[in-house]
Amino acid sequence: MKATYLLPLALLAACAPTSKTPVATSSSAAARPAAPPPTPSAPGNYRAQADAFLATYTAEYVRLYTQSSEAEWQSNTHIVPGDTTNANRTARANERQAAFTGSATNIRQLRELLAHKDQLTPLQSKQLETALYNAANSPQTVADVVKRRIKAEAEQTEKLYGFDYKYAGKSVTTNDIDELLRTETDPQKRQQIWEASKAIGPTLKAGLLNLRDLRNQTVQALGYPDFFTYQASDYGLTRQEMMQLVRQLNTELRPLYRELHTYARYELAKKYHAQQVPDYLPADWLPNRWGQDWGSMVTVKGLNLDAVIAKKGKEWPVKQAERFYQSLGFPALPVSFYELSSLYPLPPGAAYKKNNHASAWHVDLGQDVRSLMSVEPNTEWYETTHHELGHIYYYLTYTNPDVPPLLRQGANRAYHEAIGSMMGLAAQQKPFLVGLGLVDAQTPTNQTQQLLKEALQYVPFIPFASGVMSEWENSFYAENLPADQLNAKWWALCKQYQGMVPPTPRGEEYLDPATKTHINDDPAQYYDYALSYVILFQLHDHIARKILHQDPHATNYYGSKEVGQFLQDIMRPGSSRDWRTVLKEKTGEDLSARAMVDYFQPLMVYLKEQNKGRKYTM
C-alpha cells in the first residue's frame, strides 16, 4: 500500500485545487454568508482595506470550511449503501462554502485589491491570491455548473468507496486485495485477484466523464483553459512547464528504472514458472494493483518485521509513530486526535463501510486534526502511520499565529507528501529499527538487498505518477481525450512508461484509470506525489549528510532535536513563503532528482551484473 494523502473536500477546495468543489444553493443558509465590507471607492490605504477584507473573509471561510470538512468526514467514514443522507449533507455543506469562496462580490473585491499589489504586504498579497485561486474552483458566475459538480462529486465518492469487491465468490476489502497481490503465487489466481481489483471501473465511467466537463467549465469561468492547467498553476507553473518538469524526472530516472524493469521481468518469470520471459511486465504479476510499488518482491533477511509487529497489537504502529515525532521535539498529539480519528478496520459484519485509503485531515484549520486509516499490525501499516502522522504534525506546526488560516498548507502540495514519505523511509532503516528493538543489532542484513527493496518501492512510482497518471489526466482534461479511447490511452501509457501490459485485452467497456481513487476524488494533481519523492530524497540527503553525518542508507533520526528543528523550520511557514525559496535555503539546491539518483547509484553495479545477457525492452 502506498500511503497517500487525501484531503477532505473542504481542504482540497481551499488549499489545493481539487475535484471536490463546493457550490451555490438557493437556500437561505447558503445565501447567508456575510459579504466582506465593500471596497471604498476612494483610493485610501490599501493595506488597511486588505486587512479589513481578510479579517471578515477568513472568519466566514473557516466557519464554512469546518462544516464542509465535518460533512466530508462523515461521507468517508460511514458509508451505507443506498443511503444518500451523508452525500446530501456533504453536498449542502460544500455548496455553502462554494457560494462564499466563489461569490462574485468576493471575486470583484479580490481583483480590486490585487490591482494595488505593489501597495500591499507580501503576506496580504499571498492570502488574496490564494482566495482568488480558491474562487476559481467554485465561481458563482457559473453557480449552476458548480452546484452540479458538487452533486456529481458526492455521488462519485459514494460509488467509489461503497463498492462491493468480490473475489472467489466472497466480498473482499481493498486491504484484502492488496495482501493477496503481495502473497499469492498461483498465476491463475493472481489474474482473478487483479481483475477483481478493476471491477469498479465501469461503475465510475459515466460519472467521471460528467465530472471532466464540470471541472473544466468551473475553472474556465475565471479564465483557466482547463482543470489540469488550473491545478498546475498552484505551483506557479504553466501546464506545459509542469509536464516538462515531470517528463524530466522520468528521463533522469530512466536508466535505473530500465535495469529494475529488466530484473523484475526475469525474476517474476522465474517465480511464476513462465515458459518464456515477456518483453513487458504483465500487470497481474506485480504486487500492486497499478504496478506503482514492487517493494514486496524482495524480503530482506533480518528485516522482515511482520512477525515482530504483529505481536505488538493494532494500536502500536500509531502510538509508536507518535513517540517518534515526540523524540524529535514535536508535541504529543491532541487528545481529540484519538477520540475523533478512524484508525482501524471496521469490525466484521459492520452495517456500513468506510474509505480504506489512508488520509490525514485538518478539519478546522486549527487543532482538530484527524486520520482515516485501517491500521493492522504489519510492516505496511507501520510505514503508513509514520507517513500519515507526518501530515498531522505538518498541520499542527503551521497552525501558529504567524500563518493566517488561508495559508495553512504545505509550501506546495508536494511538500506534505515529501515529509510524510521521508519519515516512512527513515522509520524503516536498520539503525532506526535497532534503536526501537525491532531488529537485533547483530542480525546480519544484506545491504544490497535492502537497497534493492527500497528501489523497487520508490523508483517504479515515478513512471507511474509522473508518466502514466500525469500524462493521462493531462490528455483527459486539457486535450479532451475522446470517451471511446480512455482505456486504450491508459494502457498505451502503461506500456510506454512502466513497460507494463494487461494480462488480457482491456477494451473500452472497462475504465481501469478510474480504479485509482485519485482520478475520481483528487484529480489532475498526481504529479504531486512524484515531486514529493524528489523532495523527499533531497531532504533526506541533507539530513543524513549535513545534520546526522550518517550514510543516507543507514540513518537513525530518532531523538535528534536538530532534525526536528530542521523539519519544523520547513513546516512552520505553511505556504506563506515561496516553495522554491524554502527548498534552496534549507538544502542549498533547487528541485532536482540528483539526490534520488545518487541514493540508488550503488545498486546499479549489482543490477547490471544480474542483467548480464538479459534482453532489455525499455
Digit-coded pLDDT (tens) for 301-311: 877 788 999 99
> Within the chain, how many helices (H) and strands (E) appear?
27, 6
CB of 147 within 8 A of CB of 24?
yes
Q: Give the chain's mean pLDDT.
A: 91
CB of 420 within 8 A of CB of 387?
yes
How open is the CA angle 582-588-590, to the nearest 5 degrees?
Answer: 70
pLDDT at 30 over 70: no
More confident residue, 134 or 17: 134
Q: Which of 523, 516, 515 is nearest to 200 (CA)?
A: 515
- Say how many C-beta atoms besides its own lie within 10 A of residue 170's C-beta: 8
State mean pLDDT over 385-411: 97
State mean pLDDT over 127-155: 94
Q: Which of 91, 12, 3, 21 is nearest to 361 (CA)?
A: 12
- The full DSSP string for 224-269 is -SSHHHHHHHTTT--HHHHHHHHHHHHHHHHHHHHHHHHHHHHHHH
Distance in angstroms (rounded) separating the CA atoms of residues 536 and 320: 21
pLDDT at 12 over 90: no
Q: Which of 484, 489, 483 is nearest to 513 (CA)?
A: 489
SS3 79: strand
C-alpha cell of 228? Answer: 489540469
End-to-end CA distance of the chain: 26
The fraction of the chain above a pLDDT of 70, given in percent, is 93
- Say how many C-beta atoms besides its own lie within 10 A of residue 219's C-beta: 26
Which residue bears the cell 493521462?
Answer: 472
pLDDT at 85 over 90: no
Q: Is residue 46 part of a domain?
A: yes
State mean pLDDT over 578-601: 94
Please give the distance of CA 232 from its chain centroid, rounded to a whole number. 15
What lies within 8 Å, CB to CB, of 286 at 6+ separation is 181, 264, 268, 294, 500
Distance in angstroms (rounded) separating the CA atoms of residues 556 and 132: 43
pLDDT at residue 82, rounded to an integer: 82
Q: Is residue 291 part of a domain?
A: no
pLDDT at residue 88, rounded to an integer: 87
- The full DSSP string for 19-45 is S------SSHHHH-SPPPPPPPSS---
State mean pLDDT over 5-13: 31
pLDDT digits (tens, 9 = 90+) for 494-506: 999 999 999 999 9
Distance in angstroms (rounded) separating the CA atoms of residues 273 and 173: 29
pLDDT at 279 over 50: yes
pLDDT at residue 29, rounded to an integer: 30
Q: Is residue 98 part of a domain?
A: yes
pLDDT at 42 over 80: no
Q: How confident is the model at residue 357 (pLDDT cuts 50, 70, 90)?
A: confident
Q: Are strands 165-167 and 170-172 parallel, antiparallel or unpaired?
A: antiparallel
Distance in angstroms (rounded) separating the CA atoms of residues 534 and 530: 7
pLDDT at 94 over 80: yes
pLDDT at residue 168, rounded to an integer: 95
pLDDT at residue 44, rounded to an integer: 54
Q: How confident is the model at residue 603 (pLDDT cuts 50, 70, 90)?
A: very high
Q: How confident is the model at residue 111 (pLDDT cuts 50, 70, 90)?
A: very high
Which residue bears the cell 485545487?
Answer: 17
pLDDT at residue 302, rounded to an integer: 76
Q: How confident is the model at residue 35 (pLDDT cuts 50, 70, 90)?
A: very low
Q: Is residue 274 part of a domain?
A: no
Neighbouring C-alpha atoms within 13 Å toward the C-beta of 508: 9
SS3 6: coil
pLDDT at residue 41, rounded to an integer: 42
pLDDT at 21 over 50: no
Q: Is residue 244 part of a domain?
A: no
For the ranges 10-19, 358-367, 457-466, which has the lowest average pLDDT?
10-19
pLDDT at residue 525, rounded to an integer: 95
How open is the CA angle 79-82-84, to the nearest 5 degrees?
Answer: 70
With residue 170 as reference, give the H or E element that holds it: strand 170-172
Q: Is residue 568 part of a domain?
A: no
pLDDT at 575 over 90: yes
CB of 401 within 8 A of CB of 571?
no
For the ranges 345-349, 460-464, 553-557, 609-613, which has the lowest average pLDDT?
345-349
pLDDT digits (tens, 9 = 90+) for 476-487: 999 999 999 999
Distance in angstroms (rounded) separating the CA atoms of residues 578 and 587: 14
The fraction of the chain above a pLDDT of 90, given in percent, is 85
pLDDT at residue 297, rounded to an integer: 95
pLDDT digits (tens, 9 = 90+) for 231-275: 999 999 999 999 999 999 999 999 999 999 999 999 999 999 999
Q: What's at 477, amino acid-wise?
A: Y
What lies within 8 Å, CB to CB, of 457 at 6+ separation is 293, 294, 295
Which residue bears the cell 527493496?
Answer: 453
104-114 vs 122-135: helix crossing angle, rounded to 10: 150
pLDDT at 422 over 50: yes
Q: How confident is the model at residue 10 (pLDDT cuts 50, 70, 90)?
A: very low
pLDDT digits (tens, 9 = 90+) for 203-212: 999 999 999 9
Q: Is residue 161 part of a domain?
A: yes
pLDDT at residue 571, rounded to an integer: 98
Q: Is residue 440 part of a domain?
A: no
Distance in angstroms (rounded) separating the CA atoms of residues 96 and 22: 7
pLDDT at residue 87, rounded to an integer: 83
With residue 370 as reference, give the H or E element that holds it: strand 369-372
DSSP summary character for residue 171: E
Question: What is the count of structural domains for the chain?
Answer: 1
Domain that holds residue 19: 9-231
Q: What's at 421, amino acid-wise?
A: S
pLDDT digits (tens, 9 = 90+) for 512-532: 999 999 999 999 999 999 999
| Polymer length in residues for the chain | 618
